[in-house]
Chains A and B, each alone.
Chain A
Amino acid sequence: MISEEECREAAELALDQLPLWVREKIGNVAVIVEDSHPRHLMGIYDPVGGVQRIVIFRDTHPNAAEVRKTVLHEIGHYFGMGEEQLQARTKMFCGCELSFGDRPNTHTCPVCLAHPGVLPVINEQAVRYALQIALALESEVAPRSIFHRKNYFYPDNPKGYQISQYDIPLARGGWLGDVRIHRVHLEEDAAKLTHVGESGRIHGSATSLVDFNRGGTPLVEIVTEPDLRDPAEAREWAQLLRTTVKQLGVSDVNMEEGSLRCDANVSVRRAGAEQLGTKTELKNMNSFRFLERGIAAELERQTALLEAGGQVEQETFHFDPRTASLTPLRSKEYAHDYRYFPEPDLVPLAPTEEMLRHAREALPELPAERRERYEAELGLPEVTARQLAFDAQLGDFFERALAVADGVEPGVLANWVAGELSAAQRHFGPDGREVDPAHLVAVARMVVEKRITHASGREVLHTLIDPGSSVGDPEEIVKARQLAAVSDASELEAIVERAIEAEPAAAEKVKAGNPKAIGPIVGAVMRETNGRADGGEVMRLIREQLGLD
């Protein structure tokens, strides 16, 4: 670690090198150098009675450059940036930074390596995040929840026990969508094992490597009641859960990176049976697609088994996405008596009123609520409401468009966002340009006012997104591409007249009472107008001229 003198010098230098306006703004800052912080923090911004103090902990700073970084970080606090914006997220019971894809075993300390004598300290930020999740799920937070030790031997479990929650979890009950929540609890993640060798499992592999970077990552386990009825429903619900947690901003909720993991308990029963059947557990489904496929495969297996007169055994399966097959885990690997008992190194977790209030205030509008509001207040059909609410990006765009709608009906905007915009974005993928919500509103307005046709509106939207087109606003695009609808009534009447003359056979059939025969006449009108005529108006004029109204 850096020497005390060097540390102080580096910190003071970093302060001196701040831009003048920053220095004037912060005034005098005292730098305090301490040896270490129990949670191995790097620094603390600590205003005491109007005096700005920055405390730097030496043991987490190998050199002056790191000290400088910490000083800047703490200055960030002075300007009101919260830990969420500034502080790296840390492990559940020590101060190690969370990481994904870093060099193995670079985010470790005596605590998460389970050296003799170390003790866990609850990460308050993790508790705050977990409270947000619990509240978002309308789960009831326990005034005092208890951590337990879950005992088992494995190289990914350095203490020989995992600290988890058992009989008194962080929160109980709740809902997400129409699925009931059983409980929400906090625990720590295991380290990551890599088995070198053919089997890919610890038995029979030549070498197993442990990466403790992941060990101790805070996990929130959410258990539902058995309310999901088929694989697609399970996938959809898992996606809703992801969107919900993502909106809270407390996790990346990335299945591929393992920040969202899903185990499925699966059982079947005969139609009409009251009791649920014996369940099995599926592990390792690291995408929504695999989740759905794994459950489907297991339902099929159980059904076939029961129909052949067999019985389902309670066991755990590993889903192999490559072969879409289920392998039972060897009983030795999972049939544990975990010997749970209360963790004596921790005191009960009692969230303060302040923590609960903060968690409540930090809740954004969540997908389920948003969908309800779209249906009840905006009158959107369920499918559209769901699509906008469960895709946070699309939903947020819709919100911004609504704010500048200026008279354009929400239902109309919703269709444009959920339909045309979403399709166009998919079409162009990540290369597509971002659309200004006001531009989308302008397009929708032009269509509503019949200044352009719906098809032209779509073309304008595509032009706005197309990275290859020159930037423009909707009005310019309409002008440049001559998309303005044929709005002169007499001009359109004349075109319709010519079209009827050009398609006499069709005209006769329509007159004789076959409305479907109108197609060729409409086609002729559209050809002549380059699609710029309003379809409804064209139909009306044809029928009028054929004397049908």
Chain B
Amino acid sequence: MDDVLELTVAEALRRIEDGELTAGEYFDAYAEAAGGDELGAYLWTANPGPTATPPPPESETRRRRAGDSLRGAPLAVKDIFCTEGIETTAGSRILEGYRPPYTATAVRKLADAGARLLGKTNMDEFAMGSSTENSGYGPVLNPWDRERVPGGSSGGSAAAVAGRVAPWAIGTDTGGSIRQPASLCGIVGLKPTYGAVSHYGMIAFASSLDQCGPLTRDVTDAALLLRAAEGRDACDSTSVGIDGGVELPSREDLDGLRFGVPRELSAEAEGIEAGVSEIFERTLGKIRELGGEVDECELPHAAHGLSAYYVLAPAEASANLARYDGVRYGLRADADADLIAMYERTRAAGFGAEVKRRIMLGTYALSSGYYEAYYGRAQRVRTKIADDFRAAFERFDYLVTPTSPTVAFKIGERTADPLAMYMSDFCTVPMSLAGIPAISIPAGLAEPDGGGAGLPVGFQIAAPAFDESGLLDAAHALERAIDFDTRPPGVRP
């Protein structure tokens, strides 16, 4: 049965269809594995067995419409998604014990398509972080090297999928929170176009950037998951879905496709490790071998992406996190104090340091007298970056960069240096600001600077808005050529 944990979801579903595996066996194998998770990847897991946990509410009508394509496949869900009756904390102590009265649209759609909730995964508090060390419930360990971080903020989802305690997972990506941990854990992570998947029930960090997406072992699974999750949702005015849906990828070559390499996010970027550069170059070679053209390109404003991001995202977060005030749900510290003291003590006790830092940054950036200089200017940078991408996509079908400048770093290595931590998202933030889809696929192993065993390196491919099907196809062809073994050393036979 151990074999089951090595299957991609698409393979498992085929076996279930062929009668070689039952949905119950599949779920139970993972429920047991998740229950024995040693990575700190989960905050809550389902029990094995048919009736152990009630699946999110679903109806025959919806199920028929969704086609029951996922046949009971277990699904790990980042704890940022509300699940009715099941504790949902977004990695924060301020929401400890909070049981939402409703289920997020993305989770519900996946459940309607037949997925079963396997567990809620650990994460950086309110998705603020790049290492999952900011969780209020302890860190997550990278299955490739347990002394290292899995990346973040969807670190629990990434570690669970890579560590074989989940077949796949959903996460959220605001500035790189799906792609960067996927890269550090050697799996596939896709941030869809802004608006492709509903935000409803996804606890907001930076509303104009947050996007739900899959973390999977291969590109086909990513397509399978996105296909079930995407769609316009009347509960989310910003959602539009993907016109024409998502096709499962089948492409095996890259003939005639043009790949641009933005200088600002590769050769000229600061802090890219030598090993990462080497894998990146080797992957460009693979693209050429598959018939793709590779050429250098420019994204003149991309290097300012991180600065703009660290104004806009905290600004939105400062408002989004105002509701955690101790009045209606979640933590309430010192209920006997007067109102202002209760607010202050609740938020002081409930939020971690990084969350407080960003609330203060954002509050400052929106203050009268500073609004134009910070928020206004950052918005203009954002527009320029989107224009840069638009211009680049006139010459190129896809743009490629390293996903993360480095391989997984040591736990504690960057916690004292927020700026070093923020640099993790240098290559992923510009796509978030432009709202375009981008995928990270594992491209090989590289030694960290300073030496040591090889660790996964991710390769990022970005596409024009709503070209998810094309992006997945290209990633699929490249994935075949790279032929990366996603099994961390610990789980190899």
Contacts and interface: CB of A to CB of B under 8 A. Distances in A.
Contacts of B208: 344
Interface stretch (A116-124, A383-391, A511-519): A116-124
A153 B319 contact: no
A232 interface: no
B363 interface: yes
Contacts of B328: 113-114, 158
A116 B237 contact: no
Contacts of B367: 337, 339
A33 interface: yes
Contacts of B80: 117
B90 interface: yes
Given A115-B100, A116-B323, A119-B235, A155 B339 contact: yes
A59 to B, nearest CB: 8
Interface stretch (B59-67, B161-169, B421-429, B481-489): B59-67
Interface string B196-215: 00011111101110000000
A4 B59 CA distance: 8
Main SS of the interface on chain B?
Answer: loop
A505 interface: no
Most central of B95, B235, B375 by chain A CB within 10 Å = B235
A328 interface: no
Interface string B316-340: 1011011111011100000000110
A39 B319 contact: no
Given A118-B200, A155-B327, A155-B339, A346 B101 contact: no
Contacts of B316: 341, 344
B202 A345 contact: no
Contacts of A161: 319, 322
Nearest to B315: A341
A153 B237 contact: no
Interface stretch (A202-210, A438-446, A476-484): A202-210
Contacts of B59: 4, 33-35, 58
B343 A117 contact: no
Nearest to B316: A344
Contact of B237 (A34, A115, A208, A347): A347
B102 A153 contact: no
Nearest to A160: B322
Interface string A122-161: 1000000000000000000000000001010101001111
Given A116-B98, A118-B200, A158 B62 contact: no
Contact of B200 (A35, A117, A339): A117
B368 A337 contact: yes
Contacts of A153: 322, 325, 343
A121 B325 contact: no
B323 A114 contact: yes
A189 to B, nearest CB: 17
Nearest to B206: A344
Contacts of A4: 59-60
Contacts of A210: 327
B199 A119 contact: yes
Chain B, interface size: which category? 35 or more
A117 B202 contact: yes
B363 A116 contact: no
Contacts of A37: 234
B88 interface: yes
Given A113-B328, A116-B98, A117-B203, A341 B339 contact: no
Contacts of A117: 80-82, 100, 104, 199-204
Interface in B46-79: 57-62
A31 B403 CA distance: 51
A345 B323 CA distance: 15
B11 interface: no
B469 interface: no
Nearest to A34: B61
Contacts of A121: 234-237
Contact of B368 (A33, A208, A339, A344): A339
Contacts of A202: 339
B238 interface: yes
A203 B340 CA distance: 10
Contact of B201 (A39, A118, A339): A118
Interface in A316-352: 337, 339-341, 344-347
Contacts of A35: 57-59, 61-62
B319 A341 contact: yes
B127 to A, nearest CB: 12
A4 B237 CA distance: 28
A34 B58 CA distance: 10
Interface string A18-57: 0000000000000011110111000000000000000000
Interface in A52-72: 58
Given A34-B62, A117-B203, A118-B102, 10 more contacts: A4-B59, A35-B57, A116-B90, A119-B237, A155-B339, A158-B327, A159-B319, A161-B322, A202-B339, A341-B371
14 contacts: A33-B61, A34-B61, A35-B61, A37-B234, A110-B101, A114-B328, A115-B100, A116-B95, A116-B98, A117-B199, A155-B339, A158-B323, A208-B339, A341-B315
Interface of A: 4, 32-35, 37-39, 58, 110, 113-122, 149, 151, 153, 155, 158-161, 202-203, 208, 210, 337, 339-341, 344-347
Closest 8 CB pairs of A and B: A160-B322, A38-B235, A339-B366, A344-B208, A344-B207, A38-B234, A117-B201, A116-B203
